[in-house]
Structure 1
Amino acid sequence: MGAQVSSPEGVHVVVVGGGFGGIAAAQKLKAEGLDFTLIDMRDAFHHNVAALRASVQPGFAQRTFIPYAETFGDSFLQGRVDRVDTDGQMVVLQGGKEVRYSHLILSTGTDGPFPGKFNTAASFQSAVQAYEDFVQQVQAADSVLVVGGGSTGVEMAAEIKTEYPDKKVVLIHSRIALADPGLVSSVRRQAKEVLLEKGVELLLGHKLLNLAELQLNVTRRNTAVTTDKGETLTTDLIISCTGLRVNSAGYASSFSGSMADDGALRVDEHLLVEGFSNVFAVGDCADVREPKMAYHAGLHAAVAVTNIVNSLSGKELTEYRTGNVTMLLAMGRDDGVGQFNGLRLPRCVVALGKSRDLLLWKSWREMQQKQP
């Protein structure tokens, strides 16, 4: 890291969203000596890489939430962003509170169904309890239907079958290939092999009808569901792992001219939002053509903060360049598949590198707190 700069008068960076990109940006701002405020609607960072383990293993959830205030002190503000006043350079929270910014980093992430995502205004205690309650639903079910065979669905099915090998687990997916399209085909095939080895039943090329009308995350014995191919099956518990969407609610009214069709913010090579010289987008809400991953969010954050520092000192801005995809899928605590820079890794390497601890150690270290 370069020489630390003292925060010049009038410089105040606001980071909206305390996910992986947000905390990485906040830590780098803190290290650079820049005045900042990190805003999130929760009081604790959610290491949602481990959310699915917290969904099946009692007592695990408390390790996946890390209080913001203990790390960032008065530089953390809990609240939900209502809009951004770009003319006045103010972030406006629900309730009317305004936070002035000289530079803005938007890191609002994506939203999706619980338990994979937990984008709810909640305290640490209530968030942990939500996962503990979900574990009880999983334990009460003899059969579970996981809807969606992207990376989250694949990991969810594997977690349940690993923790509860006697339960019937069915994974339904509208496509034939599983997991993220950014993975090389051999890794996607390997994910399928691991699921079959664990005893997960696969229903590929089928789409569940009336998903929006079904009761999710609650055990109701022998619930009948039908697919678009006319297949009918019964299950006790339905878990949705589909429908991720960009969290654009806090900025949509102010940046409508800079938004892609999916709500992400169009950015240049410096991660500056299109049409702005002091607003950056990092992580899932940045319209960058690469898989939406915690790892990428951290890389974005480093570029954004470096460019704020460079702009203050008159230096040339840094460019963000996408590389070959590195992605690891935890297939339960004892197995995994993945690739590093586009090359497939041995399953044992992924299991050791990610699956056992789900990289929790990294977030606790970054937040400079001790894991319970």
Structure 2
Amino acid sequence: MPSNDGLLAVARSFRVLVIGGSYGGLSAALNLWDLSRGRLPRFNYAYDGPAPAHRIPIQTTIVDERDGYYHLIGTPKSLACEKLAAESWTRFQDIPALKSPDFKIIQGSVSSVDCATKVAHILDTATNSTITESYDYLIVASGLRRGYPTVPRSLRRDDYLEEARKHTENVRNARGVVVIGGGAVGVEMAAELKMLEPQQKVTLIHSRDRLLSSEPLPDDFAERAYSILQQGGVAVILGQRVMDTTAVDVEGDQRMWRLTLGDGRQITTGHVLSAISRCIPTSTYLPPQTLNEDGYVKVQPSRLQFSADIPNAEHHYAVGDLAAWPGIKRCGGAMHMGHYAAMNIHQQMMAECSGGKPTLKTLNPFPAVIGLALGTKAVSYTPDEGTKHGEELLASLFGEDMGNSNSPVML
């Protein structure tokens, strides 16, 4: 029977549990919400049909350790810019779509998941108690655990703003800053610090002979990033590992550090930032048989459903960094995976209601794609366009707020 909005009603409702309220989790939750309300998904470039004709009642629960969505892309800049910091953390209660009664937010962490009974056990931070949450579909999107300053330590927005303020103050008042690690985070961090604090001496140290050495990217991309850093005034030291970091006594209250490099050189600086962060999957709450040897969730090669031989595997999805999926782990890729999971779950729900067979989307492996914000310029690589760089590229990729306002999860 048609509802007041002209959509056909289905015979049952569904409960969806999303573990992780970042790019992948919110993309899955909000795209699925769009589809359930008879709308085109906000990532509609991969949706090749008309808007759904049925309204499906869905109650979605999102569990996250933080009290809001944190724009991880902006970290290298937002931790040193109080204005951007304030824009980079949005409490879940302030995201327009999540104000719907169709969503419930739990700040906390999941301790275990029973795939057979479809029940998750959650430590609720607000009440400091363990609660159980039943679901029909589970979307695992809790990502990887990364160290500071790759991500902030704080779990609440107010604490984060104070953390960013102290970080900015420490960088501004230091007698020199050294960033250790020339991966994507370290390269962006060094460039942004030098742009925001041009009077500050910023040095980037990387143990390999080229920047971005762990990513499957061409040499000309790494060379362009190196060139932009140097043009921006960042001193770059390649091929040297920091062997020792020792506090140095100086007059006054300001602390200094002496870094000893592999070739015996010593560098004295006022502030040290490590951009070497071992990423640890947050998958300990899942059954061991669902994980590979590194702790990533094994998924079907194309559909993102759990591939392990467990009960109800077809009702369990993994998206984003936690999924065992090839390619560079990117926020855009996580949102893309969340979109595909939403479309497939919607198809399964419709099939359950109609007795038909779902038409599931298949996700192809991601090509090597990356974009970096390096001060006043950006550098990007795609297989089709190769390496590009420039100020106009920075504006088109990141806008005024490191791309936060253009993120579909914020609409």
| TM-score normalised by the chain length of structure 2 | 0.81
Q: Please name the residue that 1:163 is paired with.
A: 196
Q: Please name the residue that 1:99 is paired with.
A: 133
Higher strand share: 2
Q: Structure 2 residue aligned with 1:152, among 149, 161, 185?
A: 185
Alignment of structure 1 residues 1-372 onto 2, 5 Å: 9=12, 11-33=14-36, 34-71=58-95, 72-73=98-99, 74=101, 75=103, 76-94=105-123, 95-118=129-152, 120=154, 122-179=155-212, 181-209=215-243, 221-248=255-282, 251-268=283-300, 269-275=302-308, 276-312=313-349, 313=351, 314-332=357-375, 334-342=376-384, 343-357=386-400, 358-363=402-407, 366-368=409-411
SS in 1 for 2:321: helix
Moved more, 41-50 or 72-81: 72-81
Gap runs ≥5 in structure 1: none
Q: Does the C-alpha gap of structure 1 residues 22 and 5 become closer, same or farther in structure 2, counting only changes over 3 Å?
A: farther
Moved more, 139-148 or 122-131: 122-131
- Within 2, Cα distance between the matches of 1:171 and 1:136? 20
Q: Deviations over 1:5-61 (max 9, x none)?
A: 867635211110011111111111211223211111111100111112112223321
What letter is aligned with 1:9?
Answer: R
- Checking the alignment, whether the CA contact within 8 Å between 1:115 and 1:131 is kept in structure 2 is no
Q: Deviations over 1:120-152 (max 9, x none)?
A: 4x2221122211111111111121110110000
> How far is 1:264 from its partner?
1.4
- Checking the alignment, whether the CA contact within 8 Å between 1:18 and 1:45 is kept in structure 2 is yes
RMSD of the TM alignment (CA)? 2.4
- Within 2, Cα distance between the matches of 1:6 and 1:69? 28
**Highest CA radius of gyration, 1 or 2?**
2
Count of residues in correspondence between the two structures: 357
Gap runs ≥5 in structure 2: 1-5, 37-57, 124-128, 352-356
- Checking the alignment, whether the CA contact within 8 Å between 1:112 and 1:242 is kept in structure 2 is no
| TM-score normalised by the chain length of structure 1 | 0.89
Identity of aligned residues (%): 23
> How far is 1:208 from its partner?
1.7
SS in 2 for 1:21: helix
